Amino acid sequence: MSKAERTRSFIIERTSSLFNTKGFAGTSMNDITEATGLTKGSVYGNFKNKDEVALAVFENNSTKMQKLIAAEISKKKSYREKLLAYPEMYESNYLGGALDGGCPILNTAIEADDTHSELKEAASQAFTDWKDKIAALVKAGIENKEFKSTTQPEETAINILASIEGMVMISRLTGKLNYRRYVLDALRKQIQEL
Amino acid sequence: MSKAERTRSFIIERTSSLFNTKGFAGTSMNDITEATGLTKGSVYGNFKNKDEVALAVFENNSTKMQKLIAAEISKKKSYREKLLAYPEMYESNYLGGALDGGCPILNTAIEADDTHSELKEAASQAFTDWKDKIAALVKAGIENKEFKSTTQPEETAINILASIEGMVMISRLTGKLNYRRYVLDALRKQIQEL
Amino acid sequence: MSKAERTRSFIIERTSSLFNTKGFAGTSMNDITEATGLTKGSVYGNFKNKDEVALAVFENNSTKMQKLIAAEISKKKSYREKLLAYPEMYESNYLGGALDGGCPILNTAIEADDTHSELKEAASQAFTDWKDKIAALVKAGIENKEFKSTTQPEETAINILASIEGMVMISRLTGKLNYRRYVLDALRKQIQEL
Amino acid sequence: MSKAERTRSFIIERTSSLFNTKGFAGTSMNDITEATGLTKGSVYGNFKNKDEVALAVFENNSTKMQKLIAAEISKKKSYREKLLAYPEMYESNYLGGALDGGCPILNTAIEADDTHSELKEAASQAFTDWKDKIAALVKAGIENKEFKSTTQPEETAINILASIEGMVMISRLTGKLNYRRYVLDALRKQIQEL
DNA sequence: TATGAATGAGTCTTCATTCAT
DNA sequence: CATGAATGAAGACTCATTCAT
């Protein structure tokens, strides 16, 4: 890893939670230099502009989340258990502990949808990838006869993700753990009925 | 309505879509004077600061949305039909047509959760009110024997809202109408089974 | 004159010699605030950007020069004397005393020709106006039988201006007064032979 | 030629048109590394600073121009024809084709006169050398009985150069070819009358 | 109460230059 | 010698807010 690559990674690492909590517009280059201890020139030597930092940070946060998810899912054997890992992860605050500020896809989607097309596109792509992963699990479960043959993979994946993202928003907004439980319980039931 | 009240309303009206699309941090006082044709002094004569404008605008957007919803719901007779008005409204883009930038509660929740406690509190309150309205419908449906006696009002309301908010985020992010349909179809089925 | 107009004029007045000596690229907004004692916000409240200040300053410098010239020319009765006012003005440093940094048209032409199309256009227009004024004097002299009927007004005007601008450059560069005199003597002879 | 000398030459060659079009203040070290493909360190290894690059580039541009002129002049036999090579060269765009951005002496004189004494001094020296060359031609023509014995060499040289530099400025500023022709025609007549 | 000019700290970005490797 | 990452001052410009009129 070259010096430049190390510095890039360092900047991304140090500013990941910054962007995910304060948003793109709310994070200043000054915040970035303070969080890293680097100078402005150094940041601009490694990134073309703030947009590029934000994009790299988004990819980092999004990838980190997917890796955490994949790690948990790989521990489970059956496809139903793999899907049930989702309510489990959110119940235990497994993802929340690693990612300050909530779901990066949700955060980015909401901030960028009307204002920042590049970030929006990145978030859209990350969402689609995630959806495809869940749909693939569902499809494999069907082929493996774990799930009913009438189950629709993409439809199921979208519904799981809608519930999860809605739940994340609600629980972060209200701080009520029972609201989270309501959604996760319903999600578990939904997965049992696949 | 006094002059001051009229000016306040005028400012709120003209800047509602501004805040809902660009967010609090992304909307400047300059944007506000341009959107209204008023001077800086005039805006500050009617609002203490930008926060106060944002709060008033949020209340306006949130109230407008609730009124639109209430109008549709009041047209339905049975409680099941009242709940089914939700998928209907989102399917027809009834709310989207009236509110630029998507759901104000979702938008405000995401932007404000880590950065702006007053706005977060307002969004939290608006969300709770909404949830209570849906829960009240469910409860009335139970008492009216339309729904099963085992149905849980608050749990049901939270699940409906999680699906809806997740769906709003997904459909705005990806632009895919079939993703919206997947969630709304599942929501209809869920309501039929109450 | 409104407050804004007064401030605009004040800024233009105070920064005229700045732009004419240091050039557009060499003059910073900081130089402008220091020269005026105003804040950045104040300058930007009165001008859209640095370009607009530069354009206004150019117009001011150019107009001031033309007024000084017109004042001297109007004192002369015959058209030949009016033209001879040019070598006289440059010999006596009449214009140099009023305009720091030399001829604004020459300065702007050289800096802007490859880099700043708006300024270039303004300089081109100012030059053309000047040329037209001299050509008009020549034409009037012909009609008045002071000059030969074969004299070409525009050709004459261009040649006078080329000599003058070349002389300004040379005398500012070398600081040699006799170089200036060589050109002005030739110019006088040329005017005598019209 | 050593490695260092070759690199110096390479940098000078590649940035000559850059400085002559954008000026000293308008050309950045970044522009220089981009135009050369070299690194910052490499440029600074061969030049003390930007000033030194600019000076070397000016000398290069100025020398290149003088060589082009000398080549044309050497083709002519009589001294009158040698002087007439000047209007010929400018008419045919012989110099303009080789030097982007116009006359380097004129450009440097105007930008540097109030701001950059070293460059100003270099331009002044280059101008004086040029003037001396023309004056020498005039003197030789007098001694050779081609020109009148009353002709003043230096005075003639300065007038030729003033016309030329003024014409360059005017034709670059306005883009009008007939303005150039007016000055060159007058210059030809002036040379015929020596 | 309304005006709109002024404030000055803040925004993102580029500058010429240095120096450890 | 060359590299290219780092520096930090300076660049143009915008911000929310104030206040004399």
Q: D73-115: per-residue pLDDT in tens?
A: 999 999 999 999 999 999 999 998 899 999 999 999 999 988 8
Give the chain B residue nearest A23 (alpha carbons): B111
Distance between the alpha carbon (CA) of A41 and the C1' atom of F8, Å: 8
Using a CB–CB cutoff of 8 Å, tell me whether B84 touches chain A: no
Output the average pLDDT for chain D.
Answer: 95
Task: Give the pLDDT confidence of C46-95 residue by residue, as tens digits.
Answer: 999 999 999 999 999 999 999 999 999 999 999 999 999 999 999 999 99
Question: What DSSP letter does each residue of chain A carry, written as one string?
Answer: --HHHHHHHHHHHHHHHHHHHHHHHH--HHHHHHHH---HHHHHHHSSSHHHHHHHHHHHHHHHHHHHHHHHHHH--SHHHHHHHHHHHHHTTHHHHHSTTS-HHHHHHHHHTTT-HHHHHHHHHHHHHHHHHHHHHHHHHHHTTSS-TT--HHHHHHHHHHHHHHHHHHHHHH--HHHHHHHHHHHHHHHHT-
Question: Strand, helix or coil at B62?
Answer: helix
Per-residue flag: C133 CB under 7 A of strand F: no
pLDDT of amino acid B1? 64
pLDDT of amino acid D1? 62
- Domain A58-192 belongs in CATH node 1.10.357.10: yes
Which residues of chain A are under the pLDDT cut of 50?
A: none
Q: What are the C-alpha distances in Å from D59 to residues C179, D47, D55, D112, D122?
A: 23, 14, 6, 14, 8
Give the one of A120, A155, A169 whose C-beta lies nearest to B165's C-beta: A169
CA B55 to chain centre: 14
Question: Strand, helix or coil at C150?
Answer: coil
Query: What letter represents residue C130's amino acid?
Result: W
Task: Give the pLDDT confidence of D26-54 residue by residue, as tens digits.
Answer: 999 999 999 999 999 999 999 999 999 99
Tokens 């106060």 belong to residue: B52
- Number of CB atoms found within 10 A of residue C122's CB: 21
pLDDT of amino acid B63? 97
Give residue D66's pLDDT band: very low, low, confident or very high (50, 70, 90): very high
Give the one of A123, A127, A170 whose C-beta lies nearest to B158's C-beta: A170
pLDDT at C16 over 70: yes
Residue A96 token pair: 């929340």
- Number of CB atoms found within 10 A of residue B175's CB: 12
Picking from C166, C165, C127, C175, the residue whose alpha carbon sits closest to that of residue D160 is: C166
pTM (whole model) above 0.75:
yes
pLDDT of amino acid C96? 87
| B-contacting residues in A 102-121 (Cβ below 8 Å) | 102, 105-107, 109-111, 113-115, 120
Picking from C180, C17, C174, C39, the residue whose alpha carbon sits closest to that of residue C101 is: C17
Residue C145 token pair: 């039988």
Q: For residue B142, give every residue at least 6 positions away whose Cβ sits within 8 Å of its Cβ, in sequence order, or none.
A: B148, B149, B151, B153
Which residues of chain B are under the pLDDT cut of 70?
A: 1
pLDDT of amino acid B174? 97
d(CA B119, CA B127): 12
CATH of C3-192, one of 3.40.50.300, 3.40.50.2300, 1.20.1630.10, 1.10.357.10: 1.10.357.10
Task: Give the pLDDT confidence of B63-116 residue by residue, as tens digits.
Answer: 999 999 999 999 999 999 999 999 999 999 999 889 999 999 999 999 998 889
Task: Give the pLDDT confidence of C136-172 residue by residue, as tens digits.
Answer: 999 999 999 999 999 999 999 999 999 999 999 999 9
Output the average pLDDT for chain B.
Answer: 95
Give residue D5's pLDDT band: very low, low, confident or very high (50, 70, 90): confident
Picking from C29, C61, C55, the residue whose alpha carbon sits closest to that of residue C119 is: C55
Per-residue flag: B118 CB under 7 A of strand F: no
| D-contacting residues in C 151-180 (Cβ below 8 Å) | 152, 154-155, 158-159, 161-167, 169-170, 172-175, 179
CB C138 within 8 A of CB C153: yes
Distance between the alpha carbon (CA) of D41 and the C1' atom of E18, Å: 9
**B59-192 has which CATH code?**
1.10.357.10
Question: Strand, helix or coil at D176?
Answer: coil
CB C29 within 8 A of CB C43: yes
Interface with B, mutate which of A58, A90, A116, A165 (most B CBs under 10 A): A165
Task: Give the pLDDT confidence of A84-101 residue by residue, as tens digits.
Answer: 999 999 999 999 889 999
